[in-house]
């Protein structure tokens, strides 16, 4: 194993294995479920433009900074930050933000697994439908052939009303995630990424081409790329930056942890840029996959979070070979979600293993088990616990159920805070020589990186934190 580096001898077997795993971490529900939804709600092109600015100016330097912390620290996020702090002669207390990241990873996974469970359910629905169409002798029939456009969206409401079904899907998804992480970096995480990510890209390209031929591609292009600046408000910019951080998996310990398994000779700067830009490319391609289909059947592009789960199945209902494409579409989302959840669990598992000395499988099952249990509360908050409030005294969350409270706490507080501390740490506290050596950058590029991570990122992230917590200031 050329890349075996971290404690316990774990490491990626090649640079490509790392790239695929990190792209797998970044590409997830955020790209396919949230990005097109946000672009749809915020006027398309203008949002995409701001989003791209956030990626280049803040996201890419953050990805590089996190991977370099991991590679230098060679441990989980908490202990890696401590190592960089020690080698820079600053307080070990900086390790705290590594800890925040791990907490954020665990918190994200609690609700991420619930949404991934919905995806799994739709894989089942579409799979049954495809088989039905196949056996009826007409595999080209539209999906959900026996149903009407009015009843198809009730699949989601039915799911939400059925606790046992919701929980079974959640258990299944977490079970697969834990099983893969328990198998280790090379035999579990890397193997899953090297199989699932290429399959994901093939499906993404295939369905986009399908949409280009059968749907309204030109309208989707215009929608995603014509900027309407009247739609830009501080809250839209705030949303774009938050989404960029979430989508690139920044500030949630995953990239630091994955960085810990990267070989010394790997050049980090081009690798980080490749990971970040691939994530953005996938988000845009996901928009170009979804909107031609949405427009083809006259659905609302700004339908919000139900776009993928309620609107698209209606589209597949009427389109040629819709039952097959619908099935492939949800399989694609499932692959994307799984490689992301693996990275989230790995961030927590690596820490648990380092902290307790437990074996990897034991750490993965216990960490995954705790996350699963909190996830049960998220799932139940969609129905029988919908009235439960975690933070009734905090106006921002006074009306939010458990699911939305955890999602909001992570997105508005924990991730921005961790990102802020990460950028201050790397921009101002970490030893300059150490940072320079790990990034491999020099000259003008090093200057640009330093400026972005030391000034642009902390100021922008501070603003997200401020306006996220005090929306009345906007
Ligand atoms: N980036 C993932 C997505 O877009 O769905 C979510 C995610 C994964 C966030 C891993 C954070 C993380 F550490």
CA of 431 to the centre of ligand 1 (A): 29
Best mutation site among 24, 102, 200, 246 for ligand 1 pocket (most ligand atoms within 8 Å of CB): 246
Distance CA 189, CA 212 (A): 34
In three state form, how does the secondary structure of 240-261 look? HHHHHHHHCCCCCCHHHHHHCC
CA of 193 to the centre of ligand 1 (A): 14
CA of 361 to the centre of ligand 1 (A): 22
Which pLDDT tens digit goes with each residue over 70-119? 999 999 999 999 999 999 999 999 999 999 999 999 999 999 999 999 99
CA of 344 to the centre of ligand 1 (A): 7
Neighbour-count burial of 163, counting CB atoms closer than 10 A to its CB (0-12 exposed, 13-18 middle, 19+ buried)? middle
Q: What are the pocket residues of ligand 1 if the criterion is a CB atom closer than 6 Å to any ligand atom? A: 25-26, 28-31, 105, 108, 246-247, 249, 252, 254, 340, 343-344
Under 8 Å between Cβ of 132 and 313:
no
Which pLDDT tens digit goes with each residue over 26-50? 999 999 989 988 888 887 889 999 9
| Nearest protein Cα to ligand 1, atom 9 | 249
Closest-lying ligand 1 atom to the alpha carbon of residue 35: 4
CA of 111 to the centre of ligand 1 (A): 12
CA dihedral 447, 448, 449, 455 (to 10 degrees): 100
CA of 248 to the centre of ligand 1 (A): 7
CA of 393 to the centre of ligand 1 (A): 29
Q: Quote the pLDDT of residue 297.
A: 85
Task: Collapse the DSSP code of 469 into the 3-class scheme (helix H, G, I; strand E, B; otherwise coil) and give the result.
Answer: helix
CA of 24 to the centre of ligand 1 (A): 9
Closest-lying ligand 1 atom to the alpha carbon of residue 29: 5
**For residues 9-34, b (16+ Cβ closer than 10 Å) or e, as one string?**
ebbbbbbebbbbbbbbbbbbbbbbbb
> What residues in the chain have per-residue pLDDT under 70?
1-8, 138-146
Q: Quote the pLDDT of residue 59.
A: 97
The answer to ipTM > 0.95 is: yes
Q: Quote the pLDDT of residue 39.
A: 86
Under 8 Å between Cβ of 164 and 382:
no
CA of 446 to the centre of ligand 1 (A): 27
| Nearest protein Cα to ligand 1, atom 10 | 249
CA of 241 to the centre of ligand 1 (A): 14
Best mutation site among 21, 27, 28, 113 for ligand 1 pocket (most ligand atoms within 8 Å of CB): 28
Distance CA 303, CA 300 (A): 5
Best mutation site among 22, 24, 26 for ligand 1 pocket (most ligand atoms within 8 Å of CB): 26
Best mutation site among 51, 108, 276 for ligand 1 pocket (most ligand atoms within 8 Å of CB): 108
Distance CA 221, CA 45 (A): 9
**Alpha helix locations (H) across 145-233?**
154-161, 163-182, 191-214, 217-225
Q: Quote the pLDDT of residue 2.
A: 42
428: tokens are 């101002």
| Nearest protein Cα to ligand 1, atom 7 | 249
Distance CA 306, CA 163 (A): 19
Which pLDDT tens digit goes with each residue over 131-143? 888 887 766 565 5
Best mutation site among 21, 23, 25 for ligand 1 pocket (most ligand atoms within 8 Å of CB): 25
User: 151 Cβ partners below 8 Å, 6+ apart?
Assistant: none
Distance CA 454, CA 469 (A): 23
Rg from Cα positions in the chain: 22
Q: Quote the pLDDT of residue 146.
A: 64
CA of 246 to the centre of ligand 1 (A): 6
**CATH class for the domain made up of 7-473:** mainly alpha
């Amino acid at each position: 194993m050329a890349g075996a580096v971290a404690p316990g001898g774990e490491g990626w077997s090649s640079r490509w294995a790392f790239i695929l795993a990190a792209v797998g971490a970044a590409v997830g529900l955020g790209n396919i479920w949230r990005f097109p939804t946000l672009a749809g709600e915020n006027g398309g092109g203008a949002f995409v433009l701001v989003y791209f600015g956030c990626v280049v100016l803040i996201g890419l330097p953050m990805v590089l900074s996190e991977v370099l912390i991991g590679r230098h620290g060679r441990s989980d996020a908490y202990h890696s930050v401590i190592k960089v702090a020690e080698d820079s002669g600053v307080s070990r207390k900086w390790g705290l933000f590594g800890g925040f990241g791990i907490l954020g990873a665990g918190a994200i996974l609690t609700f991420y697994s619930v949404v991934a469970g919905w995806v799994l359910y739709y894989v089942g629905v579409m799979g049954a439908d495809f088989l039905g169409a196949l056996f009826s002798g007409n595999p080209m029939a539209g999906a959900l052939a026996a149903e009407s456009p009015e009843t198809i969206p009730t699949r989601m409401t039915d799911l939400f009303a059925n606790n046992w079904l919701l929980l079974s899907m959640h258990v299944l998804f977490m079970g697969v995630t834990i099983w893969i992480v328990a198998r280790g970096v090379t035999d579990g995480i890397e193997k899953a990424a090297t199989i699932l990510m290429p399959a994901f890209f093939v499906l993404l390209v295939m369905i986009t081409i399908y949409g280009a031929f059968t749907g309204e591609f030109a309208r989707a292009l215009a929608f995603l790329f014509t900027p309407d600046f009247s739609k830009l408000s501080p809250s839209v910019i705030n949303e774009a930056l938050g989404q960029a951080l979430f989508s690139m998996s920044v500030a949630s310990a995953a990239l630091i942890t994955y960085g810990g398994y990267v070989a010394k000779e790997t050049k980090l700067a081009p690798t980080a840029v490749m990971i970040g830009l691939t994530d953005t490319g996938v988000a845009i391609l996901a928009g170009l996959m979804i909107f031609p289909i949405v427009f083809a059947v006259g659905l609302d592009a700004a339908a919000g979070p139900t776009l993928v789960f309620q609107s698209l199945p209606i589209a597949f209902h009427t389109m040629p070979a819709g039952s097959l494409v619908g099935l492939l579409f949800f399989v694609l989302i499932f692959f994307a979600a799984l490689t992301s959840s693996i990275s989230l669990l790995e961030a927590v598992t690596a820490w648990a293993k380092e902290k307790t000395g437990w074996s990897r499988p034991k750490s993965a099952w216990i960490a995954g088990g705790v996350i699963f249990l909190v996830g049960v509360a998220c799932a139940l908050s969609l129905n029988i616990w919908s009235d439960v409030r975690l933070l009734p005294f905090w106006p921002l969350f006074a009306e939010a159920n458990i699911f939305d409270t955890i999602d909001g706490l992570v997105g508005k507080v924990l991730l921005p805070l961790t990102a802020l501390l990460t950028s201050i740490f790397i921009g101002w506290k970490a030893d300059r020589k150490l940072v320079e050596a790990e990034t491999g950058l020099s000259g003008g590029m090093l200057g640009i990186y330093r400026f972005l991570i030391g000034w642009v990122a902390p100021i922008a992230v501070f603003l997200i934190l401020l306006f996220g917590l005090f929306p009345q200031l906007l």
